[in-house]
Amino acid sequence: MKKREFQKIEVTKKAENSILLGHPWIYSEEVKENSNIKNGDIVDVLNMKGKYLGTGFYNSNSKIRVRLISRNTNDTFDYDFFKRRVSYAWNMRKSVMNDLNSVRIIFGEADGFPGLTVDKFNDVLVVQTLSLGIELRKDLIFKALIEVLKEDNINIKGIYERNDVSIRLLEGLEEYKGWYNNLDISTKIEIEENNLKYIVDIENGQKTGYFLDQKYNRLKIREISKNKTLLDCCTHTGSFAMNAYIGGAKKVVALDISEKALVDSKTNFDLNNMKIETICMDVFEYLESIQGKKMYDFIILDPPAFTKSRKTINSALKGYKELNYLAMKALPRGGFLATASCSHFASEDLFKEAIYEASLKAGVTLKQIYVSGPSLDHPEVLGIPETKYLKFFIFQVV
């Protein structure tokens, strides 16, 4: 067994309690600094009495000073370690997902890779690396990803890095995007999900190009769209609209403020031979404009996160309340409202309270008929609230 030769840091009682409760982050104010440690180094974490608590990546640039990756003193963090971690993650997806054409393979801390996201789109992997510790070891991790998938007869054509996110700056990392190892192939990838085809723009689409987490919620929309006149707000790639169309909706309208999103949506509509109307407009303005007209009996709200910080949660909740209020006022009695929030700062209770307050303002009663979270390749880890983020409800207005 290899000898452990990591630098050691001491943490406060508060950090110790958090670690023992399962949370992997140690903040700057919870650490007794050690000037011998280089950013990106692996460190052993000790309590104030010198007892081992775990091992993680150190970074003095970040408010999150240490991101734990193990609580096992026997781990050596070599290639075999990372391949084993990748195998655990992949085997779980194989067990719980009904289709592996496009799937999230690594969901950051939930899979023991702090700050790493890996999405598989057909035969291409798209990755976001948001921590220095992972960045310095990405060659090992990427090699492990390719090898694990190859053992299942899945040959990956390339890895695209979507590291054009400002949070990297907080880790002392640069922003960039491009093919790993300088490949030169198309960044428009055709995938299949729920028997529908999509073109995913992995270079310029939001996040990694496509939101895999709503996979099964899209199926639920398909199940209850028959004979409905449906408005899909913040349509992005048109996925909810397409599932409503194939579910037998009388009419489907896809709305987005982004012209690029609607161009991408129309590409997907054409790919699947669907006639879906599109509107380029701010969602708040459009819902205001249709008040009293009762043009739709099903409205879907799937906006981008209204907050990425605890400091702005109150204004975000006001935004959710107003958006849902406008949708409720635009619906007839008996109409359906599907509404989602993808911010973990807006907890399920807070989000639901905002929806309830919107219903009181609108003078309607909501009957909850469905509640869900993300698809099973985005697992929540108890003790890490940051892994619980997506809330999805369907209500009937009565």
What is the structure's pLDDT at 393? Answer: 98
Question: Considering the domain 79-190 in this protein, what is its CATH number?
Answer: 3.30.750.80
> Residue 349: is its pLDDT beyond 80?
yes
- On whether the CB atoms of residues 32 and 9 are closer than 8 A, the answer is yes
> Residue 1: is its pLDDT beyond 50?
no
Range 250-268 average pLDDT: 97
| pLDDT, tens digit, 9 for 90 and up, residues 8-57 | 999 999 999 999 999 999 999 999 988 899 999 999 999 999 999 999 99
Question: What are the extents of the domains in the chain?
Answer: 7-70, 79-190, 211-397
Residue type, 183: L
Q: CA of 287: how far to CAs of 132, 326, 356, 380, 386, in Å?
A: 43, 6, 19, 33, 31
> Residue 333: is its pLDDT beyond 50?
yes
> Residue 59: is its pLDDT beyond 90?
yes
| CATH 3.40.50.150 fits domain 211-397 | yes
- On whether the CB atoms of residues 160 and 187 are closer than 8 A, the answer is yes
- The three-point CA angle 7-8-14 to 5° equals 150
Domain 7-70: top CATH class: mainly beta
- On whether the CB atoms of residues 119 and 208 are closer than 8 A, the answer is yes
Question: CA 162 from chain center: how many Å?
Answer: 14
Range 301-318 average pLDDT: 83
- As a whole number, the mean pLDDT across the chain is 95
3-state secondary structure (DSSP) of residue 152: coil
Taking the whole predicted model, whether its pTM rises above 0.85 is answered as yes
| pLDDT, tens digit, 9 for 90 and up, residues 9-22 | 999 999 999 999 99
> Residue 122's closest CA among 209, 183, 204?
209
> Residue 120's closest CA among 394, 398, 320, 377?
377
Question: CA 177 from chain center: how many Å?
Answer: 18
The residue to which tokens 């009181």 are assigned: 360
Which H or E run includes 229?
strand 229-233
> Residue 182: is its pLDDT beyond 90?
no
Percent residues over pLDDT 70 in the chain: 98
